[in-house]
Amino acid sequence: MGKYDIVKRARLTSRVSATDVIEHLCTATVEMHGDRLSGEDHAIIGGVGLMDETPITFIGIQKGRSTKENIQRNFGSVRPHGYRKAKRLMEQAEKFGRPVLTLINTAGADATPESEEAGIGTAIADSLLTMSRLTVPTLAIVLGEGGSGGAIALALADQVWMLENSTYSILSPEGFASILWKDAKLAPEAAEHMNLTSEDLYRLKVIEKIIPESTDDEELSNEEILENLIPEIKQVFKNMQEESIEERLVKREARFKQFQ
């Protein structure tokens, strides 16, 4: 399977979504809305849930599975107030000592003139700065597309995981081909050069874990993927909470310094 085939799989609306993970992970949830400044962004879902008996904060980028829902959620492209909502939830998690789980599926942040005027770059930077300062355990999982700063804004975590057929890159293959070769139709060729698959990024030590979506060349259903994923999320948070804050922060700093 070529890398552009994986790109196309990452874009499927039938994939495991942020809401799927939250519903299977948490026995109870309270979703929170708004950035307390300009409004609500439905591309970001966030709130507090009970993972067994442990309260956690969840923040997920959610695409739609129908045209109507995709329009409501802006096709998973987050606006400035969505990242400000994420920042608010991270700060709340830090205050109350809750682990933070971020779930990523976006082609990129909203790049409309309205978002530019409202400070999308600053909102992404503030989200990154806030996440870098968290002392609570953090885990980021790329579920589908992990595109550009829109994805990175929620991925400065203690560990970053990817589903097997997800992608994580600085921009789309179409954007890469348009910039380099002035032809978006060369996206399949661009994908082969971009190191954007889970295998590429695991090899480069950008991520810590690949979540399988198949066994022995047989596709797993979303339910089967979640049955495997949920225990691993619970275990990694348990392991991180058993470490001292200082030990975990040293590991996080070393994790990102290796890319300098």
3-state secondary structure 37-92: CCCCCCCEEEEEEEECCEEEEEEEECCCCCHHHHHHCHHHCCCHHHHHHHHHHHHH
- How far apart are the C-alpha atoms of 204 and 36, rounded to whole Å? 39
Both tokens of 260, joined, read 């300098």
Over 70: is that where the pLDDT of 223 sits? yes
pLDDT in tens, 109-140: 999 999 999 999 999 999 999 999 999 999 99
Over 90: is that where the pLDDT of 216 sits? no
Helix, strand or coil, per DSSP, at residue 28 = strand
Average pLDDT over residues 178-203: 95
Helix, strand or coil, per DSSP, at residue 144 = strand
Residue type, 47: G
Angle, helices 18-25 vs 222-242, to 10°: value is 60
How far is Cα of residue 54 from the mean position of the Cα atoms in its chain? 21
**Helix ranges (DSSP H) in the chain:** 3-10, 18-25, 67-72, 80-96, 113-117, 120-133, 148-152, 173-181, 187-193, 198-203, 222-242, 245-257
pLDDT in tens, 68-113: 999 999 999 999 999 999 999 999 999 999 999 999 999 999 999 9
**Percent of the chain residues past pLDDT 70, beyond the cut:** 100
Q: Place 260 in a pLDDT band, splitting at 50, 70 and 90.
A: low
Please name which of 242, 210, 61, 50 lies closest in space to residue 137, comparing C-alpha atoms.
Answer: 242
